[in-house]
Amino acid sequence: MTAMRNQIRTLKGICTDVSSEGKGIVKSGKDICFVDGLFIGEEAEINVLYQRAGVYFGKVSKLIKQSKDRIQPKCKICTSCGGCQYQQISYQAQLEYKTNRVKNALTRIGHIKTKVNPCIGMDNPYNYRNKIQVPFQKDRKGNIVFGFYRENSHEIIPIKECAIEDKRAASILWDVKELLKEMNIPPYQEDTGRGILRYVLIRTSYHFDELMVVLVTSTMNFPGQRNFVDALVKKHPEITTVVENVNPRHTNVILGEKEKVLFGKGFIKDKILDLTFEISAKSFFQVNPVQVEVLYKTALDLIDKDTDKLVLDAYSGVGTIGLIAAKNAKHVISVEINKDAHKNAIENAKKNNVNNIEFYCDDAGKFISSFEGDLDVVIMDPPRNGSDEKFLSVLLNKKPKKIIYISCGPETLARDLEFLSKDYEVTYVQPVDMFPMTAHVETVVSLINKRYSE
Ligand code: SAH
């Protein structure tokens, strides 16, 4: 990557579309420029900052014509933190952008003509995140700061509160900072490798009054730890557990291997539909507790309610979808490549007394190619880069009647659907907004084997 941070040229133009990362697209002659915080229909003067793979990247220097959808963002740093690409446009417009992103990907990349339903949004699209992780540092003047990294950097932009995080997090973070100061516990400094506290991770339960604070530190048992935890829990009785996670390495990965429970049970519980899950510091858990139910319900409603079928839940994470699907199935087989998630999935089945499910820790493609027997329904929920030919070609051979594809990347979804469209008909496409204020969009797709649809 050759990224130059100084302005390399200026440009004036109209934004005609948005990229998959939520940047405004401006075309000028043969040149294409991706512009942060510029929206469809807007005209602007642009400082072009760098070029990558033949595309320019820039920032607005003067907004000439404003979109009718532009609103005042709730968060002052949304233009520099890079987390919320869409806070500056109305929620209705965000949903339209997302629906169109899915439509465009399906027609342009996948050549799929099926109708795309309007993206399902949230009643309150703010403060939805149940997990927040913030770095702590000392600024140039030696003051302790916490916040988010400026996009593509490790410089902290201090925050008071984040518009999409759970409301309970902000005052806890603030008091962590005050207690560090009072008790002389230094934050970690990346350049010297000295100091103690690196990150604070907060996980909240939506359905229960439970809240976890994870202190990510550079060494185990930092001096003053007992007093620090006592004081924090006293100020915030809503905290039900505190965990220390030790990450001594000089790395961008937030969590380390070793952990110690400093207060409470070391996990929190939450519910998705009828099932309860235990979530520890490192567990993967969907971050939008309201929309995950909408997403799963949308997907599971597409499966017949009879209980006589064999269901494969591929890319299953901690087993959530498969466990819920098991209620209306003879048997469910789940496959997930990550060992920790696989272990969590087995625990989750035990805790919820679901017995008609088996878990395999393997690559989905490898697993399914050696699987003998007929599959009735395949639920697949791969990461952003989509599935692979190995997995998809076995699906074409095995011919399950129905495939439910849950995707967090419309472009890779479209690519995979085109591959499957040889033998499958796409019958239903429903985008769901799991991440309001950002450019991300999740999509549920139903595919029926053409033997059954014709
Ligand atoms: N279905 C789950 C998780 C989806 S995230 C949920 O709703 O919460 C995608 C999952 O796919 C991750 O857990 C990731 O570890 C897993 N994964 C990635 N590549 C994989 C592969 N090749 N085979 C199986 N699982 C894979």
Lowest mean pLDDT among 2-16, 125-139, 248-262, 304-318: 2-16
pLDDT number for residue 454: 63
323 Cα: distance to centroid of ligand 1 (angstroms): 15
Task: Please state the rounded mean pLDDT for residues 238-261.
Answer: 94
CB distance 298 to 120 below 8 Å: yes
Q: Would you state the structure tokens that stand for residue 84, as one six-digit string?
A: 């919320």
Residue 383: is its pLDDT beyond 80?
yes
Residue 291: is its pLDDT beyond 90?
yes
Q: Which atom of ligand 1 is nearest to the CA of 341?
A: 13
pLDDT number for residue 95: 98
Lowest mean pLDDT among 146-160, 253-267, 372-386, 435-449: 146-160
Q: Which amino acid is at 323?
A: L
Please name the residue whose Cα sits nearest to atom 6 of ligand 1.
Answer: 317
Hey, which of 283, 291, 315, 395 would you mutate to test ligand 1's pocket, going by the most ligand atoms within 8 Å of its Cβ? Answer: 315
pLDDT number for residue 444: 98
440 Cα: distance to centroid of ligand 1 (angstroms): 17
383 Cα: distance to centroid of ligand 1 (angstroms): 6
Residue 5: is its pLDDT beyond 80?
no
Radius of gyration of the chain (CA): 24
Q: What pLDDT band is residue 251 in, cutting at 50, 70 and 90?
A: confident
Please name the residue whose Cα sits nearest to atom 10 of ligand 1.
Answer: 315
C-alpha–C-alpha distance, residues 262 and 233, integer Å: 11
Q: What pLDDT band is residue 206 in, cutting at 50, 70 and 90?
A: very high
Task: Please state the rounded mean pLDDT for residues 351-378.
Answer: 96
Q: Which atom of ligand 1 is nearest to the CA of 383?
A: 9
pLDDT number for residue 2: 41
pLDDT digits (tens, 9 = 90+) for 89-126: 999 999 999 999 999 999 999 999 999 999 999 999 99
Please name the residue whose Cα sits nearest to atom 20 of ligand 1.
Answer: 337
Mean pLDDT, the chain, integer? 94
Residue 450: is its pLDDT beyond 80?
yes
Number of other residues whose CB lies within 10 A of the CB of residue 312: 26
Distances in Å between the Cα of 369 and the Cα atoms of 84, 187, 359 are: 40, 49, 16
pLDDT digits (tens, 9 = 90+) for 297-334: 999 999 998 888 999 999 999 999 999 999 999 999 99
Residue 160: is its pLDDT beyond 90?
no
Q: Which atom of ligand 1 is nearest to the CA of 364?
A: 23
322 Cα: distance to centroid of ligand 1 (angstroms): 12
pLDDT digits (tens, 9 = 90+) for 51-86: 999 999 999 999 999 999 999 999 988 878 888 999
Ligand 1: residues within 6 Å at CB?
284, 286, 315-317, 320-321, 335-338, 341, 363-364, 381-383
pLDDT number for residue 335: 98
CB distance 373 to 272 below 8 Å: no
Lowest mean pLDDT among 5-9, 15-19, 413-417: 5-9
Lowest mean pLDDT among 147-156, 217-226, 292-301, 335-344: 147-156
327 Cα: distance to centroid of ligand 1 (angstroms): 21
Please name the residue whose Cα sits nearest to atom 13 of ligand 1.
Answer: 317
Q: Would you state the structure tokens that stand for residue 202, as one six-digit string?
A: 């907060």
In the residue annotation, 84 being an active-site residue is answered as no
191 Cα: distance to centroid of ligand 1 (angstroms): 34
Hey, which of 337, 413, 444 would you mutate to test ligand 1's pocket, going by the most ligand atoms within 8 Å of its Cβ? Answer: 337
Structure-model confidence comparison of residues 153 and 50, the more confident one: 50
Q: What pLDDT band is residue 1 in, cutting at 50, 70 and 90?
A: very low
Residue 197: is its pLDDT beyond 90?
yes
Hey, which of 292, 300, 312, 336 would you mutate to test ligand 1's pocket, going by the most ligand atoms within 8 Å of its Cβ? Answer: 336
Q: Which atom of ligand 1 is nearest to the CA of 292?
A: 7
Residue 190: is its pLDDT beyond 90?
no
Task: Please state the rounded mean pLDDT for residues 12-34.
Answer: 95
pLDDT number for residue 3: 46
Of the chain, the percentage scoring pLDDT greater than 70 comes to 98
146 Cα: distance to centroid of ligand 1 (angstroms): 31
Given the residues 33, 84, 162, 408, select the one marked as catalytic.
408
Task: Please state the rounded mean pLDDT for residues 134-144.
Answer: 93
Burial of 142 (0-12, 13-18, 19+ CB in 10 A): exposed
Of the chain, the percentage scoring pLDDT greater than 90 comes to 86
